[in-house]
Structure 1
Amino acid sequence: MTATSAYDQSAGAAGEVILQAEDVTMRFGGLTAVDSVNFTVRRGEIMGLIGPNGAGKTTFFNCLTGLYLPTSGRVVFDGAVLPPKPRKVVMAGMARTFQNIRLFGNMTALENVMVGRYCRTTTGPFTSIIRGPKFRRDEKAVRERSQELLDFVGLGHTTDHLARNLPYGDQRRLEIARALATDPKLILLDEPTAGMNPQETRQAEELVFRIRDTGLAVVVIEHDMRFIFNLCDRVLCLVQGRTLIEGTPAEVQSDPRVIEAYIGTGPEDATEPDRAADGSEGSRDA
């Protein structure tokens, strides 16, 4: 754990549970993508999710965020069972980014963030059509908050730039700003450093720490092990849809099963029964 992430790790570990997945299983026909996974995230904690390609990480993310309804098990967020409806999940206080960037390319950076902010406004359709006083107040507040978030992620200079014209690393940060605009209690980041150079990766790490320091819990899927182990308070490793190990970065990175999962299996695994990988994820699953 780096000095930067030394932000009261013990307090984070002892914090109140905000997200709990209980025996979550996801099947696609005869394929089991996620198999009875238990997962807990506490307030103010950075939790890492790792595993080789096809391990079920993105499918598990989709179960947590309402994109998939688990075949069995349940997801409890802030004391309530989450419905499998992404909008209700966002309104409850959970936001996410995606492995493949999903921005509105022909809208400006500010407009992209404003889209995320609108879920917290209460202006009705009639007032919006006639652009009444409440609409103007809400629009001003949305614009100001969105600019604050652009500044927070280091993109204050890109306000009027089209999203499609931004460098790749800036697009990643813009997507995080849009997720933050929904006022989440927990943010889930799916491969936030994919395709980034070392300098951009360091900037992403610093940004995640700043997000955590505002009081949010953070869950990160990432293949960059150095990034994960420097960043996270705890790490969960999935292999073939099952939990291999959960623990501190030091415990996980020293476990020989984790090394084996990434570089290949040994002769002692020859007697283990074969299990189908999640064909629905393929190379997309981070």
Structure 2
Amino acid sequence: MTASLEQAPADRHLGAPVLEARGVVMRFGGLTAVNDVDLTVREGEIVGLIGPNGAGKTTFFNCLTGLYLPTEGQVTFRGAVLPPKPRKVVLAGMARTFQNIRLFGNMTALENVMVGRYCRTSAAALTSIIRGPKFRREEAETRARAQELLDYVGLGSSTELLARNMPYGDQRRLEIARALATDPKVLLLDEPTAGMNPQETREAMELIFRIRDSGIAVVVIEHDMRFIFNLCDRVLCLVRGETLIEGTPGEVQSDPRVIEAYIGTGDEGDDDEDDVPAADPQDAVRDEKEGRA
């Protein structure tokens, strides 16, 4: 990692809590996917969510963003309980991307971002149908804002490209631009660097730092440990749906339970801890993801 991508200083000022989850439990029949998980996200903070495959990370994300109603516990945004309705969650000030890219492939990059912006427009159905003055004004503002966001994420030259024809890394950035179009206070990113090469990953990290610096809190699920530990202020590790540890990147990456959760304890009798890369289990995580996903 270059010096410019090192983690922000630990004494950087953080604001008040903006997103809080307390005692969240999510059951599907007899399966408990998330069990009594707490999370607090503060203004101006980047929080990482890690864990082996099947740890419950995306299920927990879905509870935070209204796709699932937790079986127990609650999620609050700025002190108010969030309804299990994604549209209302977005209007409240939360936006997300998905592990599997969900763009409108036959729309241009600009049109995809404009879709995200429509939740902030107010033209009524009749005005939109007859394309009245208010509709035309809001449409022009939406188009201009969408172009600003494409420029912001580094896709300013891709305005008229169909989303399905864009390179994979650009599609990831386009999803982030569409999420930013909703004017979120908290942005949740589900594996934003999946499938990216090292250069694209570095650019994604720089983009997330800029988003954080603009005042938006960020929560990130990611399997790339080097990326997470250089990016985040705090990291929460889930194992089998439960919190294993929460702390600074240094505390989490040096905790032997985290290493064990990712790569196991090895064969019986093989106790040489010097063989375990305690500070960076990234390679083991990548192997697991490719072999078991």
Q: Which residue of 2 aligns with 1:83?
A: 83
Deviations 1:222-251 (A, max 9, x none): 000000000000000000000000000000
Tell me if 1:10 matches 2:15. Answer: no
Aligned residue identity for 1:50:
I
Q: Distance in 1 between matches of 2:123 and 2:44?
A: 32
* 2:23 corresponding residue in structure 1: 23
Q: Distance in 2 between matches of 1:173 and 1:203?
A: 10
Deviations 1:17-61 (A, max 9, x none): 001000000000111000000001000000000000000000000
Q: Distance in 2 between matches of 1:265 and 1:68?
A: 34
Which residue pairs with 2:173 in the alignment? 173
- Alignment deviations for residues 123-167 of structure 1 (CA, whole Å, 9 cap, x no partner): 000110111110010000000000000000000000000000000
Cα distance in 1 for partners of 2:4, 2:143 equals 35
Cα RMSD (Å): 1.9
Q: Secondary structure at the match of 2:261?
A: helix
Partner of 2:283: none
Q: Which residue of 2 aligns with 1:246?
A: 246
What is the Cα deviation at residue 11 of structure 1? 3.7
Count of aligned positions = 271
Percent identity between matched residues is 77
Equivalent-residue separation in structure 2 for 1:47 and 1:88 (angstroms): 23
Segments of 4+ moved more than 2 angstroms: 1-12
Give the CA deviation at 1:184: 0.1
Equivalence map 1:1-286=2 (5 Å): 3-4=4-5, 7=8, 9-12=10-13, 14-265=14-265
- Label 1:224 to 1:7 Cα distance change in 2 as closer, same or farther (>3 A): closer
Q: Deviations over 1:210-232 (max 9, x none)?
A: 10010000000000000000000
Offset of residue 15 of structure 1: 1.9
Structure 2 unmatched ranges of 5 or more: 269-288
Stretches of structure 1 lacking an aligned partner (at least 5 in a row): 268-281
TM-score between both structures, scaled by the size of structure 2: 0.89
| Residues 250/7 of structure 1: CA separation in 2 closer, same or farther (3 Å cut) | closer
- TM-score, normalised to structure 1's length? 0.91
Contact 1:49 1:57 in 2 (8 A): yes
Per-residue deviation, 1:103: 0.2
1: distance between equivalents of 2:18 and 2:55?
24
More relative contact order, 1 or 2 (CA 8 Å, 6+ apart)? 1
Distance 1:252 1:7 in 2: 16
